[in-house]
């Protein structure tokens, strides 16, 4: 390979008309419009890299491929809420197959930042606040994608936990706490799934930009973890060619770096540095070798021979994720509705007669059949143009009427509370849809529902207390009307079959089984940073976020502080009941728990029993140690065994650069959520130093 050939592999260009000034001329015209392109080395049989977003389906940025649609999955949080790694694998494989059929061989999926702030506009793309759950779901999605010969990745390493001024955000964290939280999630996902690439984040971590962060990339990722794939930057995250010396292997969307920082760092400047001897030949080879290694390891070198797409099957998969990911938060018995009911049902708000909401930004998928509505939101900054409320064509009101043919379902848009309340008064039951759009590039200022929807729910529930609320949100929301309504269903952004899934849960055709992958605070004051970092500053203003909570993220923080959340991590109701019994613990290299789960109700359903550490060698420390999603018929019992990853019982010892389990008593609890334990036990563990 010549150096010119090496250089050509080290940066990607966006094959897009990204400034509306014309398509990038350096990319051949037959390359499909998408996020990124790297030419191959034809002489040596190295394929071009054709990259597309993302985890929730194959995107069509700026409609650059006119008319091209794809299966739009529910939000990442919905996938997290399924607690179903096998389903995540199927979803990853599905998106991989669609990417391949459209001519792509690299999927920019694997979004897995831990949810640290319930206002982060991108949480909907991610999985959860917990390292184990996040790693298992994201890891399986990557395995699925790579199983069809499409390269994939995990992103964004690390701590891109807020969107406000993300290019200027300095995330500060204790390095050991980082290893026990966000980095542990990445570590577990990487060792399980061997992703072809890892995408580094926009932000700084402890004063160094993530993509030029020597201790993160060379020290932890490639050093301690022995990662063999390549590190690609996020789009517009490379300020300088010297990031190559600090662990970055490939610059992404180089035009964006030129626009933001003045040059295409790994195009001209990197070659000049190499010519002057500032970039050693060995490092140049290493960068290229890592890319080639992954291409051959995943089998992406072979020409793809995609089978015809099973579009209907993919829609069914989107439906299944939506069904399993929906979380019934509250139910006083009003749900499920009787399918043969002749009731007058008022469906109010949320464009529930049009479709279901989706999140915006680089992950936004144009669904099969196209959007049913797209409403621009706008704002400031480079993401303002893509900040849109997209509605996918699966209208809950229409689907509910199909499942309840004898009911009289009427719709009011909820624009005026007085109109909505009037319809509510004339109805037997009210279902209010409350939506909160979220988008990459923006955070929400607080936990409220936008556009006066809190007041709408209040007015409607006052007019008719027989009210059910369906939330489509990418985050927890405050619920000032909580006690005035009879049931609350969190549907997240439920994907292109979402309306059907919502209707099925309401009408009892599906038994809800989703569990919260994030804590719903009772008040923002309970969270580590009641004030949004960077709130009220102009685009481009540097912001420092001190993650003083360290590894105590989400439910761990709530336990540490003794706060009672509105709804705990792991919470979710069912139309049946599960009892737990016979907890048995054993200790060896790690801790293993066995217990029996029985469906004591009258319906078949799925449960997610969860095992938590509650105390470690005398210190209160809450950690999800294991979980399993099991489907049981009425009266059926099953024995479940979960073994803890020993790192979840340990602290990271920075001096030793190893994990350390202190000798002592370890208490665990079996529970329905992080704050509803049913049984507890303890084991003694000996001192142990292990792993890295």
Minimal distance, residue 107 CB to ligand BGC, in Å: 10
Question: Which residues face 41 on adjacent strands?
Answer: 46
Using the minimum distance from each CB to ligand BGC, give the nearer residue, 6 or 116: 116
CA distances from 109 to 139, 228, 491 (A): 11, 18, 22
Using the minimum distance from each CB to ligand BGC, give the nearer residue, 197 or 610: 197
Binding-residue total with ligand BGC (CB under 6 A)? 8
Q: Which long-range contacts (CB under 8 A, 24 or more apart) does 651-655 make?
A: 651/176, 651/180, 652/176, 652/179, 652/180, 653/176, 653/689, 654/175, 654/176
- Of 90, 129, 234, 552, the residue at the interface with ligand BGC (CB under 6 A) is 234
Using the minimum distance from each CB to ligand BGC, give the nearer residue, 362 or 599: 362
Using the minimum distance from each CB to ligand BGC, give the nearer residue, 230 or 612: 230
**CA gap 545, 188 in Å, rounded:** 25
Annotated catalytic residue, options 53, 117, 182, 234: 234
Q: Does 640 bind ligand BGC (CB under 6 A)?
A: no
Q: Does 320 bind ligand BGC (CB under 6 A)?
A: no
Burial class (CB in 10 A: 0-12, 13-18, 19+), 327: buried
Minimal distance, residue 129 CB to ligand BGC, in Å: 19
Structure tokens at 214: 């020597």
Judge if the upstream peptide bond of residue 278 is cis by omega within 30 degrees of 0. Answer: no
Q: Does 54 bind ligand BGC (CB under 6 A)?
A: yes
Using the minimum distance from each CB to ligand BGC, give the nearer residue, 98 or 234: 234
Q: Does 362 bind ligand BGC (CB under 6 A)?
A: yes
Using the minimum distance from each CB to ligand BGC, give the nearer residue, 235 or 492: 235
Minimal distance, residue 537 CB to ligand BGC, in Å: 20
- Of 108, 137, 291, 487, the residue at the interface with ligand BGC (CB under 6 A) is 108
The strands making up 106-107's β-sheet, listed across from edge to edge, are 36-38, 49-52, 106-107
Count CA atoms closer than 13 A to 104's CA, side-chain side: 30
Positive or negative, the CA dihedral 57, 58, 62, 67 is negative
Using the minimum distance from each CB to ligand BGC, give the nearer residue, 210 or 650: 210
Minimal distance, residue 53 CB to ligand BGC, in Å: 5
Q: Does 53 bind ligand BGC (CB under 6 A)?
A: yes
**CA gap 335, 27 in Å, rounded:** 55
CA 350 from centre of chain = 23
Q: Does 360 bind ligand BGC (CB under 6 A)?
A: no
Nearest CA to 683 among 625, 632, 637?
A: 625
Q: Does 102 bind ligand BGC (CB under 6 A)?
A: no
Q: Does 659 bind ligand BGC (CB under 6 A)?
A: no
**CA gap 532, 117 in Å, rounded:** 8
The residue whose two tokens read 């909820």 is: 414
- Of 235, 411, 580, 659, the residue at the interface with ligand BGC (CB under 6 A) is 235
Q: Does 411 bind ligand BGC (CB under 6 A)?
A: no
**CA gap 252, 222 in Å, rounded:** 19
Secondary structure (H, E, C), 378-399: CCCCCCHHHCEEEEECCCHHHH
Nearest CA to 650 among 570, 584, 591, 586?
A: 591
Nearest CA to 94 among 20, 152, 157?
A: 152
> What string marks each residue from 148 to 167 as x (binds ligand BGC by CB under 6 A) or -?
-------x------------
Using the minimum distance from each CB to ligand BGC, give the nearer residue, 108 or 421: 108
Q: Does 13 bind ligand BGC (CB under 6 A)?
A: no
Using the minimum distance from each CB to ligand BGC, give the nearer residue, 122 or 623: 122
End-to-end Cα separation, the chain, in angstroms: 35
- The β-bridge relationship of strands 344-348 and 230-232 is unpaired
Q: Does 75 bind ligand BGC (CB under 6 A)?
A: no
Using the minimum distance from each CB to ligand BGC, give the nearer residue, 235 or 569: 235
The residue whose two tokens read 């966000």 is: 182
What DSSP string runs through 308-357? PP-HHHHHHHHHHHHHHH-EEEEESS-PSPPTT---EEEEESTTTTT-EE
3-class SS of residue 490? strand
- Catalytic, 234? Answer yes
Minimal distance, residue 164 CB to ligand BGC, in Å: 14
Minimal distance, residue 362 CB to ligand BGC, in Å: 4
Q: Does 124 bind ligand BGC (CB under 6 A)?
A: no
Minimal distance, residue 202 CB to ligand BGC, in Å: 7
**How many beta carbons lie within 10 A of that of residue 169, not counting itself?**
25
Q: Does 35 bind ligand BGC (CB under 6 A)?
A: yes
Q: Does 65 bind ligand BGC (CB under 6 A)?
A: no
> What string marks each residue from 279 to 308 as x (binds ligand BGC by CB under 6 A) or -?
------------------------------
| Site residues, ligand BGC (CB under 6 A) | 35, 53-54, 108, 155, 234-235, 362
> Could you give the residue numbers annotated as active site?
234
């Amino acid at each position: 390979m010549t150096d010119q050939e090496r250089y050509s592999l080290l940066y990607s260009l966006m094959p897009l008309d990204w400034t509306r000034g014309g398509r990038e001329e350096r990319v051949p015209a037959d390359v499909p419009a998408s996020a990124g392109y790297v030419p191959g080395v034809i002489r040596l049989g190295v394929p071009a890299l054709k990259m597309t977003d993302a985890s929730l389906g194959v995107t069509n940025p700026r409609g650059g491929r006119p008319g091209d649609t794809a299966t739009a999955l529910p939000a990442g949080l919905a996938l997290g809420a399924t607690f179903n790694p096998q389903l995540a694998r199927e979803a990853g494989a599905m998106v991989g197959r669609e990417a391949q059929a459209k001519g792509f061989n690299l999927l920019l999926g694997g979004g897995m930042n831990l949810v640290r702030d319930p206002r982060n506009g991108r949480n909907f793309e991610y999985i959860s606040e917990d390292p184990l759950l996040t790693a298992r779901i994201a890891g399986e999605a990557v395995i699925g994608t790579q199983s069809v010969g499409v390269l994939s990745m995990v992103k964004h390493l690390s701590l891109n936990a807020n969107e406000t001024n993300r290019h200027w955000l300095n995330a500060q964290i204790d390095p050991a706490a980082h290893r026990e939280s966000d980095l542990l999630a990445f570590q577990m996902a990487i060792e399980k799934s061997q992703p072809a690439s890892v995408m580094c984040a926009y932000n700084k971590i402890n004063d160094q930009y993530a993509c030029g962060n020597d201790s993160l990339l060379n020290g932890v990722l490639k050093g301690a973890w022995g990662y063999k794939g390549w590190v690609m930057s996020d789009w517009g995250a490379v300020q300088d060619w010297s990031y190559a010396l600090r662990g970055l292997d490939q610059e992404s969307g180089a035009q964006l770096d030129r626009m933001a920082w003045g040059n295409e760092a790994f195009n001209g400047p990197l070659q000049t540095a190499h010519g002057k001897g500032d970039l050693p030949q060995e490092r140049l080879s290493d960068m290229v070798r890592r890319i080639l290694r992954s291409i051959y390891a995943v089998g992406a070198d072979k020409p793809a021979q995609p089978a015809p797409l099973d579009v209907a099957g993919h829609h069914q998969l989107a439906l299944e994720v939506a069904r399993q990911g929906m979380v019934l938060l509250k139910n006083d018995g009003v749900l499920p509705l009787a399918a043969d009911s002749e009731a007058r049902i008022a469906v109010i708000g949320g464009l529930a007669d049009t479709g279901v909401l989706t999140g915006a930004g680089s992950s936004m998928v144009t669904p099969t059949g196209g959007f049913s509505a797209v409403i621009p939101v706008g704002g400031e900054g480079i993401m303002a143009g893509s900040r849109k409320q997209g509605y996918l064509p699966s209208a809950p009101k229409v689907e509910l009427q199909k499942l309840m043919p004898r009911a009289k379902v009427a719709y009011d848009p909820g624009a005026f509370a007085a109109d909505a309340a009037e319809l509510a008064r004339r109805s037997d039951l009210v279902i209010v849809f409350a939506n909160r759009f979220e988008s990459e590039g923006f955070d929400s200022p607080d936990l409220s529902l936008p556009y006066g929807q809190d007041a709408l729910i209040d007015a409607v529930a006052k007019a008719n207390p027989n009210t059910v609320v369906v939330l489509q949100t990418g985050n927890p929301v405050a619920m000032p009307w909580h006690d005035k309504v009879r049931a609350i269903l969190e549907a997240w952004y439920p994907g292109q079959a979402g309306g059907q899934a919502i209707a099925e849960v309401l009408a009892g055709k599906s038994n809800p089984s989703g569990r919260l992958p994030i804590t719903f605070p009772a008040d923002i004051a309970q969270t580590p940073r009641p004030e949004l970092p960077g709130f009220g500053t102009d685009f481009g203003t540097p912001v420092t976020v001190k993650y003083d909570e360290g590894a105590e993220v989400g439910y761990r923080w709530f336990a540490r502080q003794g706060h009672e959340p509105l709804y705990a991590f792991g919470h979710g109701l069912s139309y049946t009941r599960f009892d737990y019994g016979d907890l048995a613990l054993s200790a060896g290299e790690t801790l293993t728990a066995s217990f029996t789960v029985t469906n004591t109700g009258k319906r078949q359903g799925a449960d997610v029993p969860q095992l938590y550490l509650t105390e470690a060698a005398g210190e209160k420390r809450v950690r999800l140690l294991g979980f399993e999603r099991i489907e049981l018929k009425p009266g059926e019992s099953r024995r479940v065994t979960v073994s803890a990853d020993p790192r979840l019982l340990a602290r990271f010892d920075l001096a030793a650069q190893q994990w350390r389990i202190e000798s002592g008593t370890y208490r665990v609890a079996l529970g329905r959520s992080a704050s509803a334990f049913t049984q507890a036990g303890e084991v003694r563990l000996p001192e142990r130093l292990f792993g890295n």
